[in-house]
Structures are given as C-alpha cells and as structure tokens.
Chain A
Amino acid sequence: MAKPVLEVKNLKMYYFTSRGVVKAVDDVSFELKKGEVLGLAGESGCGKSSLGFTLMNMPTPPGKIVGGSIKIDGREIVGLPENVMRREIRWQKISMIFQGAMNALNPVYTVGYQMIEPLLYHKGMEKEEALNKAQRYLELVGLDPEIVYRYPHELSGGMKQRVVIAMALLLDPEVVIADEPTTALDVIVQAQIINLLKKLKKELGLSMIFITHDLSILAEVSDRLAVMYAGKIVEIGDSQKVYYEPAHPYTQRLLSAIPRLHEDVEKLEFIPGQPPNLIKPPTGCRFHPRCPYAMQVCKEQIPQLTKVDEDHYAACWLL
C-alpha cells in the first residue's frame, strides 16, 4: 500500500473571537495517499476552507491550531517556526489553489513577475531561468507562454484560474489544496478547469485535496470523499461508496437535495433548520437537532468515525 503523503491526526483549529471560541476544525483526522484526490464537501461555515488554510499551517487570524498533528511526507509541521514553514514547507511541500482567481493575482505586476517570485527566493534561480520555468508551467496548464508578460486584467477568468493553478504547481509540491477552484466560473469554463485538473492528476500524479460545496463536481474528480459538518468529518471513504451508499443521515440528505440534470425528481428533499453556531455547538452529535433519526444517545455523546465497509467510515450512532 502506498504511503500517505499527508497524515492529519486529531487536528483542532479554533478562532478566538471576542464573542467566544469558534471551533471551526474540531478533531479532524484523515490521510491522503500519493496520486489521490480527496474531495472535501460541506456547506458554508462547516470549516472546510478553514481546514484548507490550517493544512498550510496558516490559519486566518484570530485562528490558532490548538492541537493535533499534520505530517507531510512524514514530517510534522504543526509547531514549526514560521521562517522554517516559509523556507521549507509552504509551496514546496504543500501549496494551494485559491478560491476566486479574480482576486488572487496582484493587478499591478505582470503574471511572470508574480509567478517567478518563489523561484527566485526559494530556489535562488536567475531571472531568465525562472521565467523559462514559469513558461513551461503555463504551457502545462494550456496557456500561451507569452502570458508571462501580460497583466492580470488582460486575461479572462478561466485564464486567471489557470495561472493560479500553474503557480501552485511551480515548486512541485507533494500536496495541492484546491479551495473552490471553480466557484466563480461559468459552467463551460468550469468544465475545462476540471478537465485540466484531471489531466494534471494523470500526468503528474498530483495528490490533491479538493474543497467545494458542490457534490457533483466532487464526484467528477475525487477518488475519496470526506463530508464535513460543523467542524467535523462525519463521513469519509471511497467516493463511489459514499456516493451510492451514504451512511450518515447528513450525507444522505445532502445528496438527495441536488436536482439532477437527466432525472425526473418529484420533490427535492431538504434539511430543515440551519447549521449550528460553532461557538456553542450542540452537545453529542452536532447534526442531531436537524436529524430525523435522532435518539437520546445522539444528544449526549459524540459519535466517532466507525467502519461501515472497507474504506468507508461514518460518525453516527445509528450504525
């Protein structure tokens, strides 16, 4: 069996706000194998983007990692000093494709200038050599290499997203985190970006964490799927198993809430109520106030991830 490139154990990241402690990532554990795409699904506010930033060891203030471990290629990164993170880990071992490519690029520098920055600082390359490398990566993502001389406003949304992807790959990281990489794009451009990510996965053997709220997109790319609710992973496993035999009531509901393009659906299901406040999450299972099957034990004790099938786990007292 392939060794995991990323191991996350009991990770906790809380936001310390004046109103109280927001438990955005609460006791999350999972592994990512080499060449695998792990889809991370959940609704807004469930902590999926917070988890993405935490994996880069840069939680957005006032967030702090309060416990657990993140190992990339066997090396622990929680607790590493910032200068070591910057010099040795970030972008080289783990990189990120940001949400909303529109705003991820600096409008006053050329594409090339912002792309080669890490090459100059991390690798000590000469400018010429670095630009060459940047051009090679732009070609890899299906762009004209001449784009290095252009400014972001001269590019379309889809092109900017491709630039952002090329930037994330530039230092050949072990793990790439893609945070809603297609959300602001039109359907056709979105499909083209998904195709690009599929191609890169095949050609470069990318290991990727793909974060989005859209389960249809996740089904297109993920080998494994994790569903988050209120700061916790409630179900994780082989994507076909999670998709076709969802074990957790939340996953089941979420899947039946999506209208299908080629199927007649009489009535869409929906989940009554709203996601909980993470300052004072519900006791026991965090989904119990919205769960149609809630029992006494659900209100009192937190369920742990238990095995449903080979490579399929869910956290629910009903199992």
Chain B
Amino acid sequence: MAEPVLRVENLKKYFPIKRGLLGALRGEPHRYVRAVDGVSFEVHKQEVFALVGESGCGKTTTGKLVMKLLEPTDGKLYLNGQDVTELKTQEEVKNYRRHVQMIFQDPFSSLNPRFRIYDVLEEPLLIHGIGETRAEREELVYKALEMVKIVPPEDYVGRHPHMLSGGQRQRVAIARALILNPTFIVADEPVSMLDVSIRAEILELMKDIKERMGVTYLYITHDLSTARYFSDYIAVMYLGRIVEMGPAKVVIDNPIHPYTRALLAAVPEPIPERRNIIKEVPIKGEVPSAVNIPSGCRFHPRCIYMEKGLCDVKHPQLIEYEHNHWVECWLAGKI
C-alpha cells in the first residue's frame, strides 16, 4: 500500500494545570488536562479523514498538533513518510506549512479586518517568497480566487472582509489555504458557522478542490451528517482517544462502540411523523473532565453495557473488529 500522506502515532498532548502557591508548598503532584491521549491514524492521498466528537474530546487539539501549532507531549507525526515530530528551526516549520495549511471555523475572525482581500491572499506568497514580481503574485491571487468561485476576482481584491458575506469570507479563507498549493489541509469545523444553504456550497467547493488539486483533508467536525457526506474515513473521539474508526459508511451504518451508537442516536432525524416519539439516547450522565479521566475504559461511567470488574478496571485497546474497522471496547461484537 502506498505511503500515507499523514501518519500519526500514539500522539499525546497534556496541558499542565497551574498549582497554587499552597499546592506547591504542600508538594501536590502536577496535574494535567489530557486533551489528546494516545491517538494513531493514517490519512492517504486524496482522502478525507474526519475526526468527529463533542466539544472537549480533543479533536481540535489533534488538528493543531498536526498543524504544528502545538508541540506534542509524546508520539510521532509523519508527513509523506518523513518524521516531522520535531521541527527545530523556524525555517523547517515554514517549509512544513507550505505543505500543510488550515481552514478555520470562523470566517468572521480568521481574516484580518484591515487587510484587503488582495493582501490576505498575497501575504502567504510574500512569506514564502513565491512570485518574483507583483504581476506574478497578482496572477496567482486571481487564480486562487477563481478557484473558489469568487468571480470576477477584480471586483473583490480591493474589498475588505466586512464587505463580504459569511460564505464569501469562508471561500477567501479556503483560497488563502490553497494559494501555496498544499498537499494537506486541516479543516477545523469549516462550515459550522454557516447557514445551511451556504454550508452545502462550501462542502461542494472543498470536494471539487480535492478532485482538481489532489489535496488530502483532515476534517474536524461535530456533525456526523456532513462527516458522512464529505469524508471517506471517520474516527470518533471521546476524552482524548479514538474509540472507533473506519470507512465513513461502515461506522455510521454499523456502529460498534456504545459511544458511537449514542452519538448517532442523538442526531435529529428529519422524519416528522415520528415527532411525538421520545427516543432515548443510550448514554448516562455527562462528559467527565479531562483532568480526572476514569479508570479502565474511559467511557465506562456513561456506558449502559458496562461490565463490572472488566470495563472499570482494564483499559481496552483499539482492535481491528473487521477489515479496516477499529474499535476500542471490551464488549465489541458482544453487544
């Protein structure tokens, strides 16, 4: 099999919590928020890999680790087979970002309000020294805008972000990520701030770009429906770990992990004739804090199938339940 574009091995990110002076004097141990706690996955060329989960599950932190916006506590990161876990010089990081770009959630705050659209798009070119003359750069900027269907680009380059609608801003943000011709794009909730009709437009655009430019995506989202539509693989995260992973359709149509099942049961179904039926979500309690992670399987306090003496004691491993479908649960296949 071909070398994956991105390979992540046992990635961890712990954020230390400040002890007070009193805590330090008492010699209390350091405590950590275990935001990402041993995550491994591979993304192959021109695939879309979705990280799905609720807020606080570590999906955005994983994205930031991949972007090298955060340094991992432990684990390895490979891009096209090259170890990029530790990039020492500023120059190396810069080079890495030529290949890996990010689209942020909120197009209202991700574009500098004092820049014209032209400046927004020219900045990465200047930083990376692409295009010798202004005319060359202008050509690239216009091309990038045409790519995201901001046409005619002449009408838009002189505008400031506040003169564009939310959908247009997000398209400019995508153009900014594309202008360096990256191989990998981390898209962190790129459509969750947008209206339904515009959401579909942006997803279509991102799909189209994937086909035309051969980019690979890490798609971070809480929305299972768009994940199923847009991605090839889905990994479900819970409290810093991937609990289930596999081809998008398999995970959604045949979920094995009790958490994935609960998550899927909670997605509103657009079937109005069933409106008076109360469908219970098979889950107990609320998400615990990532500081005090439960013993054994971290989902056990909320799991309705929990087996005492097993799930609350021993930590399950991610096993290949069926071809390419991975589950981290002691009871996989038995429930």
Contacts and interface: CB of A to CB of B under 8 A. Distances in A.
Contacts of B270: 215-216, 219-220, 243, 258, 260
B203 to A, nearest CB: 6
Given A240-B273, A261-B225, A188 B200 contact: no
A215 B225 CA distance: 13
Interface in A230-271: 239-240, 243-244, 253-254, 257-262, 265, 267-271
A217 interface: yes
Contacts of B281: 188, 191-192, 195
Contacts of B274: 220
Nearest to B205: A270
Contact of B196 (A192, A202, A213, A261): A213
A215 B115 CA distance: 36
Interface string B26-70: 000000000000000000000000000011000000000000000
**Majority SS of interface residues in chain B?**
helix
A254 B222 CA distance: 21
Contacts of B273: 240
B24 interface: no
Nearest to A250: B197
B279 A187 contact: no
B42 to A, nearest CB: 25
Contacts of A114: none
Q: How large is the interface on A (under 10, 10 to 19, 20 to 34, 35 or more residues)?
A: 35 or more
B225 A260 contact: yes
A43 B196 contact: yes
A214 interface: yes
10 contacts: A43-B195, A156-B286, A186-B222, A191-B279, A217-B268, A220-B269, A239-B275, A244-B272, A260-B225, A268-B203
B132 interface: no
A199 interface: yes
Interface string B157-199: 0000000010110000000000000000000000000011111
Nearest to A202: B276
Interface of A: 43-44, 156, 158, 186-192, 194-195, 198-199, 202, 213-217, 219-223, 225, 239-240, 243-244, 253-254, 257-262, 265, 267-272, 274
Interface string B241-270: 000000000001100000000111111111
A260 B224 CA distance: 9
B278 interface: yes
Nearest to B55: A186
A189 B268 CA distance: 12
A274 B262 CA distance: 36
B127 interface: no
Contact of B252 (A186, A257, A262, A272): A262
B217 to A, nearest CB: 16
Interface of B: 54-55, 165, 167-168, 195-201, 203-204, 222, 224-226, 228-230, 252-253, 262-276, 278-281, 283, 286
Contacts of A202: 276
Contacts of A261: 224-225, 228, 252, 264, 267, 269
A187 B54 contact: yes
A5 B137 CA distance: 63
A267 B204 contact: yes
A217 B275 CA distance: 10
Contacts of B230: 259
A72 B229 CA distance: 44
A271 B278 contact: no
Nearest to B259: A188
Given A156-B286, A213-B196, A258 B268 contact: no
Contacts of B266: 187-188, 190-192
Contacts of A198: 275-276, 278
Among B197, B262, B275, B286, the one with the most A-chain Cβ atoms within 10 Å of its Cβ is B197
Given A216-B268, A260-B270, 14 more contacts: A43-B197, A187-B266, A190-B266, A190-B268, A194-B268, A195-B281, A199-B278, A214-B268, A243-B270, A253-B197, A257-B199, A258-B270, A270-B201, A272-B201
